[in-house]
Structure 1
Amino acid sequence: MSRSTARRLRPARVAIAGALLLTTLFPGSALGAQPAALSPLPADPTVFAPSRQPAQSGAAVIKRAQEFLAALSAEQRSKVVLDHSLANATRWHTYPEWALGDLRPGLSTGTLSDVQWKALHSLLSAALGRTANEGYDEVRQHLLNDDYLSFGGTREGYGRNNYKIAFLGAPAAKGKWELQFGGHQLAIANTYQDGRLVGATPSFRGIEPQTFTLDGVTYEPERQEWSAFVALLGSLDQRRLRAADLHRSFEDLVMFPGAANWSFPSRPEGVRGAALTPQQRKLVLNAISRYVDDMPAAEAAAFMSAYACDLNDTYVSFAGSKSLMNIGDYVRIDGPRVWIELRMDEPYSTDETAPHSLWRDKVSDYGGTRS
Structure 2
Amino acid sequence: MISCVFLATCFVAIVADAHEAHEPVVVVDSDAMRQAVLAWRSTLGPELTRQASFEFAGPVRTDWHFVPKDRLGVNWHDMNLEQRRAAHNLLRIALSSQGYFKALAIMSLDEDLRRLEASRPNAQNVRDPERYWFALFGDPSSDEPWGWRIEGHHLSLNFSSVTGQVVSVTPAFFGTNPAELRDGPRAGLRVLGTEEDLARDLITSCTPAQLKTAMIAETAPGDVIALPGVEINFGEPEGLSAEEMTDAQQALLRNLLDEIIGNFNAELRERALDELEDAGFDKLHFAWAGSVEVGKGHYFRIHGPTLVIEYDNTQNNANHAHLVWHSPDNNFGADYLQRHYAESPHHQSAK
TM-score tier, shorter chain, comes to: 0.7 to 0.9
Task: Show the 5 A alignment for 1:23-172.
Answer: 25-26=6-7, 29=10, 51=24, 53-56=26-29, 58-85=30-57, 87-97=59-69, 101=70, 104-130=71-97, 134-150=98-114, 154=118, 155-156=123-124, 157-172=126-141
Percent identity, aligned pairs only? Answer: 20
TM-score relative to the length of structure 2: 0.82
State the 1:332 CA deviation: 0.5
| 2:300–2:311 Cα contact (<8 Å) kept | yes
Matching residue within 357, 360, 363 for 2:326: 360
Partner of 1:221: 191
* TM-score normalized with structure 1 length: 0.78
CA contact (8 A) 1:59 1:173 kept: no
Aligned partners of 2:4 and 2:28: how far apart in 1? 33
Distance 1:24 1:243 in 2: 42
Cα pair distance change 1:184/1:363, threshold 3 Å: same
What amino acid sits opposite 1:353 in the alignment?
Answer: N
1:322 maps to a residue whose letter is V
Q: What one-letter code is carried by the residue in structure 1 that aligns with 2:32? A: A
CA contact (8 A) 2:296 2:318 kept: no
Q: Distance in 1 between matches of 2:8 and 2:312?
A: 33
Q: Aligned partners of 1:236 and 1:27: how far apart in 2?
A: 36
Aligned: 1:244 with 2:214 = yes
Equivalent residue of 1:141, what SS?
helix
Query: 2:175 maps to what in 1?
Result: 206
Range with greater deviation from structure 2 (167-176 or 209-218): 209-218
Residues 153/53 of structure 1: CA separation in 2 closer, same or farther (3 Å cut): same
Q: Is the 1:209–1:352 Cα contact (8 Å) retained in structure 2?
A: no
> Distance in 2 between the 1:314 and 1:324 partners?
25
Count of paired positions: 324
How far did residue 145 of structure 1 move?
1.5
Matched residue, 2:203: 233
Which of 255, 269, 275 is matched with 2:226 structurally? Answer: 255
The letter for the 2-side match of 1:167 is: L
Contact 2:4 2:130 in 1 (8 A): no
SS at match of 2:291: coil
Say if 1:258 and 1:50 are closer, same or farther in 2 by CA, change over 3 A.
farther
Separation of aligned partners in 1, 2:154 and 2:228: 12
Which ranges in structure 2 are unaligned for 5 or more consecutive residues?
Answer: 339-347
CA RMSD, 1 decimal: 3.0
Aligned-pair distance for 1:136? 1.1
Which residue of 2 is the match for residue 35 of structure 1? none
Listed as ranges, the gaps of 5+ residues in structure 1 are 1-20, 32-42
Amino acid at match of 2:38: Q
**Superposition deviation, residue 360 in structure 1:** 0.9
Name the SS for the 2:10 alignment partner: coil
Contact 2:155–2:173 at 8 Å: present in 1 too?
Answer: yes
